[in-house]
Amino acid sequence: MALYRIGQQSITPIKRTTFAAQGLRERQDLQALLRANIDVIAPETLVVAEEFGEWEDSRRRIDLLGIDKSANLVVIELKRTEDGGHMELQAIRYAAMVSTLTFDKLVGIYAKYLADNRIEQDATTSLLEFLDWSEPDEEQFGQEVKIVLASAEFSKELTTAVMWLNDFGLDIRCVRLQPYLSDEQLFLDVQTVIPIPEVADYQVRIRDKKQREREARQQSRDLTKYDVEIGGNTFPSQNKRRMMYQIIAGILHAGGTPEQVIEAIPWKGNTLFETFDGDLSGDDVRELLARDGTGKDVRRVKRFFCSDEELFRINGRTLVMSNQWGTRSVEAAESLARRFPSLSIRTRPASEPDS
């Protein structure tokens, strides 16, 4: 890439320089500039943290953490080097680490960022306004983690890896930042190199195909909501996951045991509850779920009811309930109603609101 100044009778090249030659440091200068002007490399993104590294057993830190208008988290990694190093691998690790964040957790992270930068804003209000939400929506929050890599240049190995990863559903953008010097004025050329024009149409078609498949699955889902009655309490208009939660919570609070619940719906077996020793908080449980086993299945946190008020604390242990029910939730509700007749468990499709 070359830049030229056009004169009346001439086209004169503008000299390309480097960040190092101009005394621009990676964090103190380049990162600070982009943090304050994030739309240059990540349009419609709100920066919520800088040098973020709130996880155990790791000294690594995300340069900038953001959120986009679709409530997706955005990991932004910056390099002033001429090849980008191994930043794609580093960013993927970071994306995995932040994929378990909840909206409430992000509020705390953003509040710290605002305080550190002496910005007098309420974190919750600011996030809701940016997302155009009237209230937090955990089901829509953080469905994807996007990655933006910004560097003076990218090696062929890096760009090849990124294009291959994008073909498999990741969303990684490579933005090239090249400084130019002319008459002691410094200019910055910003170019998105991935997706590059030669493959952009192909990538769009692949993503469109996957989006149509997701929409087809969504349309095939039964989104019926149910009014739930149990033990004299009524819970109107619950989706299937919440219907099952209210029923099982009512059973346990009335003295039923987890073992009795599992006996009534044996196909759930050991997948219904995860059990931990001690009286734990929601944050404690989310952390244990995220690092359980090999630590690779970091998204499993989203498969459980993990907020403080949703946990069950029984005999010195904390139980967290699965929110994965598939097509057998109505069958499970009926089976539990038969197993616990004294609780008068009833479910029926919620009435449509008056138009």
**Within this chain, do residues 212 and 230 fall inside the same structural domain, yes or no?**
no
Within-domain flag for 22: yes
pLDDT given at position 88: 87
Sign of the C-alpha dihedral computed for residues 163, 165, 168 and 174 taken in this order: negative
**Within this chain, do residues 12 and 126 fall inside the same structural domain, yes or no?**
yes
Tell me the C-alpha distance between 247 and 180, whole Å.
65
Within-domain flag for 211: yes
3-state secondary structure of 313: strand
**Within this chain, do residues 207 and 234 fall inside the same structural domain, yes or no?**
no
Tell me the C-alpha distance between 175 and 192, whole Å.
4
Within-domain flag for 355: no
Can you name the residues that pair with 73 across neighbouring β-strands?
67, 145
Buried b (16+ CB within 10 A) or exposed e, 164-202: eebeeebbbbbbbbbbbeeeeeeeeeeeebbbeeeeeee
pLDDT given at position 336: 95
Name the packing angle between helices 103-116 and 123-131 (round to 10°): 120
Within-domain flag for 334: yes
Tell me the C-alpha distance between 258 and 273, whole Å.
8
Within-domain flag for 25: yes
pLDDT in single tens digits along all 355 residues of the chain: 678 888 888 898 888 888 888 888 877 788 888 999 999 999 999 999 998 887 655 567 899 999 999 999 999 999 876 666 678 888 998 998 899 899 999 999 999 999 999 999 999 999 999 999 999 888 889 889 999 999 988 888 898 888 888 877 788 999 998 889 888 888 888 888 888 655 566 666 666 676 666 666 555 566 789 999 999 999 999 999 999 999 999 999 999 999 999 999 999 988 899 999 999 998 899 888 876 554 444 557 888 998 999 999 999 999 999 998 878 899 999 999 999 999 999 999 987 544 3
Tell me the C-alpha distance between 50 and 342, whole Å.
55
Residue 60 lies in domain: 3-217
- Among 185, 200, 217, where does a domain finish? 217
Tell me the C-alpha distance between 79 and 209, whole Å.
33
Q: Which two tokens stand for residue 340?
A: 């616990």
pLDDT given at position 74: 95
Tell me the C-alpha distance between 159 and 84, whole Å.
10
Q: How many domains does the chain have?
A: 2
Tell me the C-alpha distance between 107 and 263, whole Å.
40
**Within this chain, do residues 252 and 170 fall inside the same structural domain, yes or no?**
no
pLDDT given at position 295: 47
**Within this chain, do residues 250 and 120 fall inside the same structural domain, yes or no?**
no
Tell me the C-alpha distance between 90 and 72, whole Å.
19
Q: Is 303 left (phi over 0), alpha (psi -120 to 50) or beta?
A: alpha
Length of the chain counted residue by residue = 355
**Within this chain, do residues 157 and 44 fall inside the same structural domain, yes or no?**
yes
pLDDT given at position 212: 67
pTM of the model: 0.57
Within-domain flag for 73: yes
Residue 97's domain is classified under what CATH number?
A: 3.40.1350.10
Asked if 336 and 264 touch (Cβ cutoff 8 Å), the reply is: yes
Tell me the C-alpha distance between 67 and 81, whole Å.
26
Buried b (16+ CB within 10 A) or exposed e, 24-57: beeeeebbeebbeebeebbeebbbbbbebebeee
φ/ψ of 328, rounded to 5, equals: -110, 20
